[in-house]
Structure 1
């Protein structure tokens, strides 16, 4: 009994002590100095009919090796079965890319941050989070013996020592950073040298080019690792839901933008790129239920450098209008300019409504900031009818053994990058439908 009591005390006292400290020191109400700004993107790909396609979010921008994911979640976590195959095995309609949360404060303070993603899965995050899910935590093997001893000593049948450990199972999709210390940048200039780095050349680092304060997360492991510092909280994921913008395209090359949501869409940019040159059209707003037709050709294509500069300036202005600070807006543009403004294809970029973001990614901050800005940019990648027709014909010939057609399909997949497999799947369905229709026509003659 004495052995059990000593073990119980060693395991339970730290947990109860932490709980008591949390109750005594917990921030309440709203912070008078805290400001939080967030930006991020949602990417989808669709056919000319406006129907979203399932796709594999492969070949995304390279992330630094220090970023956590489900291949290295840490803290003895086990991913849900859906995530065990990695992102390469996940098929989804949306890719949530690089949301970052910036913090500004006149004084050092501690904040709890929790983001839920009910229609998706969070796949990457940094710094390390207290909770990330859905996940399970495998308790140490010796706890089974302690549980047995506790039950013999009169503990309730449903009691387990695992329930008092700091790392618990997380049944839903969310990330929770507990005890985030916000350290004002001006008061802590030496922290710049503590930020993690690697040689990946990742655009992740572009997001640091702001006036935001530092965040510090204590080590959650058992090996006394140093605290992690960053200029923001970062997370990424995949999801299955529709965004409020529907884009259709007819055979003569005219786009129709339709707002299927209940809030206005702002700062829409239609962008066409072919071999680095292209043009763009801006639409200030699309009201709920409104449709607007736009041409995709007509003006003289601009060279890549000038196009990237002009559209980057237009996007930065739109982001500032939505509430971001100028340096935050520029950091977002620098992070995504190679993907948004340099990849060949047809796409529409637009600012999602704040209410939509709050429904899709419920965010809880304790204490609540005096100002919270959330700006998400939607990216709709469109496969034009001419491309669908071309690929459907090539796929049909390749299926019959045409070597040249096989090479043509492979070249298109490479050119389309991460959207290539979705385009080929769509082309194959179109080809199969035509074969079926041809067979039916022959049977009815």
Structure 2
């Protein structure tokens, strides 16, 4: 990637002119939860991984630590999608200055680093509630006047988020020690990429541009599970899904998976039975290898693929449940997360992975049974309610119960 335009280099190694040839790579995740009927469930405002204290956020949507939520002060409703850890890398032989803008159709970009130059805003909180309002289940919503005073956001209403950065892409010989910051977490370090250019935004340095968000929009793929426990995958997109990986940890702790390296054609439908899922006692290496091959097959570098898998390893693969990882078609990525960069890259690689958690009918039956047991000492309902997807589980149970029972 040689630059054919002469450059004037400052003391920081930043070109005063634009680069003519460079690559931009990005990876990230959309997380969703659906019932066996394929309908997306809400309540996905919980954080799964703590962010460092230096990460910026929209007012009232700061990350406060493990187990806390995106809307710590600001109440949120009808969040069906978590957009987690998109990171953007630059690869250039020459230093230059770039302007980056990312939109989010159907959601808000709630957290980011380095500091943005522009972006969406949220209404001011007229009257803070004094407690963690986002822990209130979305179906037991605050009264509308209180919700409004507390600056609440209802994501069932149309929303278009955005963020902009002005970035100095430094010379490849720039001191990589510049990116160090006290308070970095393990999952902040794992995406670090020694082959990418160090980025300078204002007086902040990092290997990548980071952002996160929450939203509510239909996905281009749907998952349903019938009473025979057969998973049906329907590609609703006009483009091919490049790669899919079905993974499950049973309640007994057994790991089983099924790789679909060729993905699913546009408008295609595929069925995965329980017998298609191979059980493994020593599953870590084969799961890692299959995911690595799938991600590099989309154009990510080895370093980027390692970073993504390792960042989300525990959340992806160590916890009970059925989930499908699938790479979003490029046209859908651009529709949901439109990206504009000046000067334009010679090549762009964007790998956004859908992480779809699906509740099996057998699990739904267990949750309903436990929910109906009134004695908390005998019921296991609490383990579902306090799960990272507890609000979604409770919404699904309410859907399955008779109306006269669900309202009690």
TM-score calculated relative to the size of structure 1: 0.73
Local SS of the residue matching 1:427: helix
Please say if 1:192 is aligned against 2:177.
yes
Partner of 1:240: 216
Distance in 1 (alpha carbons) for counterparts of 2:326 and 2:228:
24
Inter-CA distance 128–300: structure 2 relative to 1 (3 Å threshold): closer
Distance across 2 between alignment mates of 1:351 and 1:235: 19
Q: Provide the aligned C-alpha RMSD in A.
A: 2.5
Q: Is the partner of 1:421 in helix, strand or coil? A: helix
2:85 maps to: 98
Once residues 272 and 404 of structure 2 are traced to their aligned partners in structure 1, the CA distance between those partners, rounded to angstroms, is 30
- State the partner residue of 1:20: none
Q: Match of 1:282?
A: 259
Q: Determine if contact 1:277/1:307 at 8 Å carries over to the other structure.
A: no
Q: Which residue of 1 aligns with 2:56?
A: 68
Equivalent residues in 2 for 1:74-153, closer than 5 Å: 86=73, 89-135=76-122
Is residue 408 from structure 1 mapped to residue 403 from structure 2 by the alignment?
no
Cα distance change, pair 378–87 in 1 and its aligned pair in 2 (3 A): farther
Looking at structure 2, the residues matched to 84 and 267 of structure 1 have their Cα atoms a distance apart, in angstroms, of 33
Answer yes or no: is the 8 Å Cα contact 2:100–2:339 preserved in 1: yes
1:56 deviates by 2.9
- The number of residue pairs the alignment matches comes to 349
Inter-partner Cα distance in structure 1 for 2:279 and 2:293: 22
Measured in 2, the distance between the counterparts of 1:285 and 1:260 equals 13
Work out which of the residue numbers 263, 266, 273 in structure 1 matches 2:249.
Answer: 273
User: SS where residue 401 of structure 2 aligns?
Assistant: helix
Deviation at 1:118, TM superposition (A): 2.3
Cross-structure match for 1:45: 33
SS of the aligned residue for 2:291 comes to: helix
Q: How does 1:38-437 map to 2 (within 5 A)?
A: 38-71=26-59, 86=73, 89-135=76-122, 173-178=161-166, 180-185=167-172, 187-188=173-174, 190-198=175-183, 201-218=185-202, 227-274=203-250, 275-283=252-260, 284-297=262-275, 301-303=279-281, 306-398=282-374, 402-405=375-378, 407-414=379-386, 417-433=387-403, 435=405
Rg larger for: 1
Query: 1:142 maps to which residue?
Result: none
Structure 1 residue 86: deviation in Å? 4.5
Deviations 1:128-168 (A, max 9, x none): 0111213489xxxxxxxxxxxxxxxxxxxxxxxxxxxxxxx
* Aligned-partner SS, 2:243: strand
> Structure 1 residue 27: deviation in Å?
5.9
Q: Secondary structure of 1:60's partner?
A: coil
Q: 1:193 and 1:106, CA in 2 relative to 1: closer, same or farther beyond 3 A?
A: same
Shift of 1:90: 4.5
8 A contact 1:67–1:126 mirrored in 2: yes
Structure 1: gaps (5+ residues): 1-24, 75-82, 138-170, 219-226, 437-445
What is the correspondence of 1:23-34 to structure 2 with a 5 Å cutoff? 31-34=19-22
- The answer to whether the Cα contact below 8 Å between 1:57 and 1:91 also exists between their aligned partners in 2 is no
Distance in structure 2 (CA, Å) of the matches to 1:296 and 1:262: 28
Separation in 2, partners of 1:299, 1:124: 36
* Alpha-carbon distance between aligned partners in 2 of 1:279 and 1:335, rounded to the nearest angstrom: 21
Residues 423, 136 of structure 1: alpha-carbon distance in 2 compared, 3 angstrom cutoff: closer
Per-residue deviation, residues 252-304 of structure 1 (Å, max 9, x unmatched): 2111111111111121111111254311111222112211111134666323x
CA distance in structure 2 between the partners assigned to 1:391 and 1:359 by the alignment? 36
Q: CA deviation at 1:429?
A: 2.6
CA contact (8 A) 1:253 1:297 kept: no
| TM-score (normalised: structure 2) | 0.79
